[in-house]
Structure 1
Amino acid sequence: MVEHGELPYQVAIMEIRKKDFETFCGGSIIAKSIVLTAAHCFVDMDTQQMSQGREYNLIVKPLEKVLAVAATVKSEYYKHETDAIAQWRTLRQFTFPNNYNFPDNDIGILYLSEPFIFNHFVRPIKLATMDKEYYGFCLVSGFGQISKTEKSPYLLKAQLRPLPGSWCSDLHHKDMSNVICTALIDADIGEGDSGGPLVCKNTGDPMEKDSYGILVGIACATYGDIHSIFTRVSRYYQYIQINRSTKLSSVAIKGLVNRRLRKYKTTCGATIIKPRKILSAAHCFHSNVGKCRNLFYPGYEIVCEADKSMYEHKYAVAGNLDNVAVFKQDPDGQWRTIEKVYYPVKYAFPNHDIAVAFLHYPFIYNAYVGQIPTASRNIDYIGQCLVSGFGRTGHKDSDQSTQLLLAHLVLIPKKPCNRLHRKVMDGFVCTSSSPTDVGKGDSGGPLVCAHTGDPNEKDKGLLVGVVSGHNVGRGSFFTRVSRYQKFIETAKSAAFSTVFSAAAYSFSLHGNTFIFLTLIYQTVFLF
């Protein structure tokens, strides 16, 4: 049995029942408001569709009846019980890889409604960053079954021996580099241990600094009497970091939909790049008539100031994950009015589809709100990147997400993108069509990449694109942020208000220009 404070990172994920709370999975604290667990703790396959041989859906467990409990060594509580040490938290959101297919990519991230308070009994654990073989014994802990019929009433721990990766791959006849296999000798994991931590010491990982080791695995499954498998944390380190940064920096531009109930709905997305500065798409704020003024920046072009009617009754909302929200009802949501919006004078959808918006008051950075760095180098990105938004999840207008969603999209290099779209796409980042593509309502949202080589990136991911549009059968395109670095950096609220030349003139798209654009982009959706 584990003593209080011995494993301060361990979390019990409990289901609320009529008379009690019962643990069904474990988790690990990695930040004040974030818990790492297994995807299969919350996601099931639609077995009826699978049995009929059809493409199946994933069913996500409702979060309303789930709690994350830290500093507890008990697996079950009756509702009248009290615990002075334990910290109970409801859940805000759960995310997992879009290519999850048990046991592949079995990892999930829980976001709490209220952050844990760190003390002697509650502390985070560092994540493994290096792919390597682990030797000796590592520590597993959980609240699961201790026999086929008996479940442990308390948190237990055991030492497990990791097996060589080649042995595990040979046994399964496939590449198992995304997991860690452990031998079943003196101990094992059971039902209820899923999502719990596998912690190793003396790994040589640069992140290992605490005396209780580093999180290397997440309990996934047991295969007969041979071995257990754990999702290898180091393989998902960037996924976790980017997921966190994207969610922190995501902003919803909300417009009023019900005055009596004070309800606002997301119309576009944006990204925090400074406390008072957000980045979005120009078409979210463009009108046929706008003000254009000349900036006194050497070598720079004219910029357009969006008409006030396009944003004066809207809010930029951070820290709120709901598509439709009641004004300032969520205590963690930060609602800000918009002061000014600027976009390039050459904007003509989809070209130059980027906008900088300034807020009247700055966002306050905390566990739910933060900024993300912007790309500075014109790099041909490869692999997968993360996109977030509140847009459509199906073909109908009613098929719209109720909460902020995150998904990985496969990038298309520049040359194939040019061929696919039959034009030069140097000002865009392109992604292929997929079931988790962007949709109406995602416009202005972020595309975040890792391992870009950009000096601005550090370890939090990098904003490389702004959601612009989708071309049927050819994928989505994002305005390439690095192409507008000078525009983004020099844009200053006070400067735009005072250093323009006295001369000002109106700017509009002529009717024939609009028709011409329609003919060229007839299969392009402007979100």
Structure 2
Amino acid sequence: MVSSIRVFIVLILSLIHLSYNDFNNVPKVKVIYQNITVRETFAKKIKLGQWRHHVFIYRLYNKRQLLYRSCCTGNIITEDRVLTSAHCFLTNRKRLKIKLKDLRVVGGILSTTAREPIEDDVQQWRKIQHIYSQKFFRFPAFNLAILRLNKMWVFNQFVNKIPYSKLNQNFDGICSGFILKSTTSWSSTKSVFVVEMQIYPQRTCEQLLLRSCEQYYSSESIPTLSSTETEGAGLVCFQTGDPAEHETDGVLVGVTSLMNKNLPNLHTRIGLFHDWVTNAATGHNCNALCIVLIIDCAICMFVNRLFM
């Protein structure tokens, strides 16, 4: 009896010892965020003419004075299309959050508040005609959206498009992202800064967030990121080996979808959905109903000619 009790006690102590060792072997994730404040001090304020693909999406908040305030961000990818986040506009049931008539997409501007001009000058103001979203959109999954605008962009030294990635690559390194912050304590508007963001490997993202990160690039958390105004912003990388990459402008690899506090941020991969983005960006986006109608019309024409 005594020997069995001793064996039981030894087993209990062994389990406690193993549990203690396992606890000590858990990685200290706080170490990952040590250099955030140091890295943020190297953020560079964007000047007009830099990052020409960047646009603000404004919402009307003062009808009398035609004043607009930014609610999201986007990226010019063709002459009349902007790539952004579907969550800016749609609920999970794909219902509009905001009326399209109250929204404007503006290039050649760096201020978060603005008044709509009578004519385009440096700034180019556009209206949204249609929003293309992914079929299985459930935030933050399948969170890409493409805006079709009422007028084409006039590409110049202030407004231009950026190439988007063709390849779905896994890499860790430094990419460029956007942050918005006030430069003075009394300012009601924020300035745009470009900042270096550390990209984490997919496995690290999944361990920290306890979720699948197959659709995303994950970057370090930056306290000054605004969940409303920087959503839809582009993640731009250089020297990726992607055939679409531009020598000086880099390549757009992700769209900012979810900003977390003290946890990695999520940027939806573009290379993973390259075919969908290309189809929606070029206008060749025919759904099943469209195909059925085309076939139906073709059959009707054939029958009419047969009996004529």
TM-score by length of 1: 0.45
Aligned match of 1:162: 199
CA contact (8 A) 1:13 1:24 kept: yes
Deviation at 1:14, TM superposition (A): 0.6
Q: Does 1:93 find its partner at 2:130? A: yes
Identity of aligned residues (%): 21
1:43 maps to which of 61, 68, 90: 90
Aligned match of 1:67: 104
> C-alpha offsets along residues 440-461 of structure 1, whole Å, 9 cap, x if unaligned?
xxxxxxxxxxxxxxxxxxxxxx
CA contact (8 A) 1:26 1:143 kept: no
Aligned match of 2:297: 281
> C-alpha offsets along residues 301-353 of structure 1, whole Å, 9 cap, x if unaligned?
xxx4xxxxxxxxxxxxxxxxxxxxxxxxxxxxxxxxxxxxxxxxxxxxxxxxx
2:239 maps to which of 181, 202, 210: 202
Deviation at 1:157, TM superposition (A): 1.7
CA contact (8 A) 2:221 2:260 kept: no
Deviation at 1:284, TM superposition (A): 4.2
Q: SS state of the match for residue 273, structure 2?
A: helix
For residue 43 of structure 1, what is the amino acid of its counterpart? Answer: L
For residue 53 of structure 2, what is the amino acid of its counterpart? Answer: Y
Distance 1:114 1:182 in 2: 34
Q: SS state of the match for residue 141, structure 1?
A: strand
Q: Does 1:222 find its partner at 2:259? A: yes
Q: Does 1:58 find its partner at 2:94? A: yes
Q: SS state of the match for residue 129, structure 1?
A: coil
> C-alpha offsets along residues 383-410 of structure 1, whole Å, 9 cap, x if unaligned?
xxxxxxxxxxxxxxxxxxxxxxxxxxxx
Superposition pairs of residues 125-144 of structure 1, within 5 angstroms = 125-141=162-178, 143=180
Q: SS state of the match for residue 59, structure 1?
A: coil
CA contact (8 A) 2:223 2:261 kept: no
Q: Does 1:234 find its partner at 2:251? A: no
Superposition pairs of residues 3-402 of structure 1, within 5 angstroms = 3-17=47-61, 18=63, 19=65, 20-45=67-92, 57-60=93-96, 61-79=98-116, 84-141=121-178, 143=180, 152-184=189-221, 188=225, 190-245=227-282, 247-248=283-284, 269-270=293-294, 281-285=297-301, 290-291=304-305, 304=306
- Change over 3 Å in CA distance of 1:129–1:157 after alignment to 2: same
Q: SS state of the match for residue 193, structure 1?
A: coil
Distance 1:189 1:158 in 2: 14
- Change over 3 Å in CA distance of 1:144–1:130 after alignment to 2: farther
> C-alpha offsets along residues 52-73 of structure 1, whole Å, 9 cap, x if unaligned?
xxxxx33213211111101111
Distance 1:165 1:151 in 2: 37
Q: SS state of the match for residue 171, structure 1?
A: helix
Q: Which sits farther off after the overlay, 99-108 or 179-188?
A: 179-188
Deviation at 1:198, TM superposition (A): 0.7
CA RMSD of aligned residues (A): 3.0
For residue 227 of structure 1, what is the amino acid of its counterpart? Answer: P
For residue 160 of structure 2, what is the amino acid of its counterpart? Answer: R
Deviation at 1:99, TM superposition (A): 0.6
Q: SS state of the match for residue 195, structure 2?
A: strand
* Structure having the larger proportion of residues in strand: 1
Segments of 5+ residues of structure 1 without an aligned counterpart are 46-56, 251-265, 271-278, 292-303, 305-505, 508-527
Distance 1:67 1:208 in 2: 29
> C-alpha offsets along residues 245-298 of structure 1, whole Å, 9 cap, x if unaligned?
4x3486xxxxxxxxxxxxxxx9x844xxxxxxxx763344466xx44xxxxxxx
Distance 1:195 1:118 in 2: 21
Deviation at 1:150, TM superposition (A): 8.3
Segments of 5+ residues of structure 2 without an aligned counterpart are 1-44
TM-score by length of 2: 0.74
CA contact (8 A) 2:78 2:281 kept: no
For residue 125 of structure 2, what is the amino acid of its counterpart? Answer: W
> C-alpha offsets along residues 9-62 of structure 1, whole Å, 9 cap, x if unaligned?
0010011232301110000000010000001000124xxxxxxxxxxx332132
Deviation at 1:153, TM superposition (A): 2.4
Distance 1:142 1:72 in 2: 15
* Structure having the larger proportion of residues in helix: 2
CA contact (8 A) 1:145 1:191 kept: no
- Change over 3 Å in CA distance of 1:171–1:227 after alignment to 2: same
Aligned match of 2:46: 2
Q: SS state of the match for residue 281, structure 1?
A: helix
For residue 59 of structure 1, what is the amino acid of its counterpart? Answer: R
Distance 2:148 2:85 in 1: 14
Deviation at 1:155, TM superposition (A): 2.2
- Change over 3 Å in CA distance of 1:68–1:285 after alignment to 2: same
Deviation at 1:84, TM superposition (A): 2.6
- Change over 3 Å in CA distance of 1:280–1:213 after alignment to 2: farther
- Change over 3 Å in CA distance of 1:74–1:237 after alignment to 2: same
CA contact (8 A) 1:160 1:187 kept: no
